[in-house]
Amino acid sequence: MRLISYIVRRLLFAIPTLLGLSLIIFYTTMFFPPRQRVRLFISESQYQNPRGPDPVPALIEKYHLNDPFLIQYTTWLREVLRGNFGYSHSYNKPAVNIILRFFPATLELIIFAAPITIFGGYTLGVLSAKRAHRKGLHGDIVDYVTRTITTIGYSLPSFVLGLLLLVIFYLVLGWIQPGRLSIELQTFVSSPTSGWVSYTGLLTIDGLLNGRPDITLDALRHLVLPVIILVTQNLAILTRITRSSMVGELVKPYMVTAKAKGLDEENVIRHAKKNSLISVLTVSGVLFATMLTGVVVTEYVFLISGIGSLVVHAASNLDFVLLVDVSLLFCVVFMLFSLIVDIAYAYIDPRIKP
């Protein structure tokens, strides 16, 4: 019951935060004239009416686009809460439909990259900390190699690694093409007469649901390189954070006292792992959300039509309606993972009372 109360309090706290962020995002649209900003409120059928008079002046009046800022903001917020997220002029479709079409590609990348990053980074960090603690902070070869590799992984730009992998596995070896599927299967999936049904937008799952395991396997094959790009830098960050946190815990006075009283090393490590999870959880939540919102380079290099590609397209075409809606999506994602991390804190650390 206390946990439910805690979740409710955190959700209530998130509301003013989201309102503040949405206020800032909407303010950026004020640089556009009312004739363009009207797309935030209406559909293309309302905006273009070739058989009648120009509807825009009436729409500007209807949505108060010549009124003070706060009136415009409350009008827009009311439309958003009703499910009206505006109209994309570059795609000639409702903005929310475009986002729902592009989002699964990004989500599929994160579904495979995040577990590898979190569990792999945590495992390597714990291993490195254990070896460093046993033989001194700079005296173990495993710890030294781990720190060296993670430093390289963190320092190497994602676009450089992405282009290098493309040159090796696409141009030289010819194993994997850019995109989510091979050309033949992509043509089949895109054909309206093929009978393909996009249940989730995730090709690895939809392939199984459509009875086409070959598509699932091909989609998995095409995910290998972009997942490597996402994992490399983020795993390096998490490994170093875990190692630093573990080493810090292992030299604290209560750990020294526990060892002095005869507690065996495995139990000491177990307690240190639990107490170091606070910082690891914080970084994991941020990394997961950052993966979801920061895949622009990876998607661009590997020709994946996800949220990152959508942002690039919207920015290059000045489609501010899409940019506003994607920004709102990113805010919600960060708030959601912040809530998940806070709830996890309450389970791990008894000092945090829900």
Is residue 76 very low, low, confident or very high in pLDDT (cuts 50, 70, 90)? Answer: confident
In angstroms, the CA 175 to CA 71 distance is 56
Is residue 138 very low, low, confident or very high in pLDDT (cuts 50, 70, 90)? Answer: low
pLDDT at 9: 79
The residue with greater pLDDT, 343 or 312, is 312
pLDDT at 134: 67
Q: Looking at 37-51, 166-180, 258-272, which range is the least confident one?
A: 37-51
DSSP state of 38: G
- Residues near 39 by beta carbon (within 8 Å), at least 6 away in sequence: 47, 86, 87, 88, 89, 321
3-state secondary structure 161-200: HHHHHHHHHHHHCCCCCCCCCCHHHHHHHHCCCCCCCCCC
pLDDT at 320: 85
Q: What mean pLDDT is predicted for residues 194-200?
A: 81
pLDDT at 348: 66
Q: Using a pLDDT cut of 90, give the percent of the chain over it.
A: 0
User: Cβ of 254: how many Cβ atoms within 10 Å?
Assistant: 11
Look at residue 7 and tell me whether its pLDDT is greater than 70.
yes
Contact call for residues 298 and 304 (beta carbons, < 8 A): yes
Q: Which residue has the tokens 């430093």?
A: 151
Considering the entire predicted model, what is its pTM? 0.80
User: Cβ of 103: how many Cβ atoms within 10 Å?
Assistant: 17
b/e per residue 214-238 (b: at least 16 CB within 10 A): ebbebbeebbebbbbbbbbbbbbbb
Look at residue 44 and tell me whether its pLDDT is greater than 80.
no
Q: What mean pLDDT is predicted for residues 241-250?
A: 77
Q: What mean pLDDT is predicted for residues 263-283?
A: 72
pLDDT at 1: 59
For 255-266, how does the pLDDT look when each residue is reduced to its tens digit (9 = 90+)?
677 677 776 667
pLDDT at 65: 81
Give the DSSP H/E element, type plus range, for residue 87.
strand 87-88
Q: Using a pLDDT cut of 70, give the percent of the chain over it.
A: 87
Q: What mean pLDDT is predicted for residues 221-237?
A: 85
Look at residue 216 and tell me whether its pLDDT is greater than 60.
yes
In angstroms, the CA 303 to CA 307 distance is 12
Q: What mean pLDDT is predicted for residues 42-58?
A: 62
Token pair of 261 as six digits: 């009283």
Q: What domains sit in the chain, N to C, each tagged with a CATH number?
A: 2-93 (no CATH), 94-348 (1.10.3720.10)
The residue with greater pLDDT, 312 or 155, is 312
Is residue 349 very low, low, confident or very high in pLDDT (cuts 50, 70, 90)? Answer: low
Mean pLDDT estimate for the chain: 79
**Alpha helices (runs of H) in 191-319, residue ranges in sequence order:** 203-209, 213-250, 253-260, 265-293, 296-301, 307-316
**Residue 68, helix vs strand vs coil:** coil
Look at residue 350 and tell me whether its pLDDT is greater than 80.
no
Contact call for residues 117 and 234 (beta carbons, < 8 A): yes
Q: Looking at 93-107, 200-214, 284-298, 307-321, which range is the least confident one?
A: 284-298
pLDDT at 58: 78
Q: What mean pLDDT is predicted for residues 201-223?
A: 87
Q: Looking at 21-30, 42-51, 299-308, which range is the least confident one?
A: 42-51
Q: What mean pLDDT is predicted for residues 22-48?
A: 77
The residue with greater pLDDT, 76 or 151, is 76
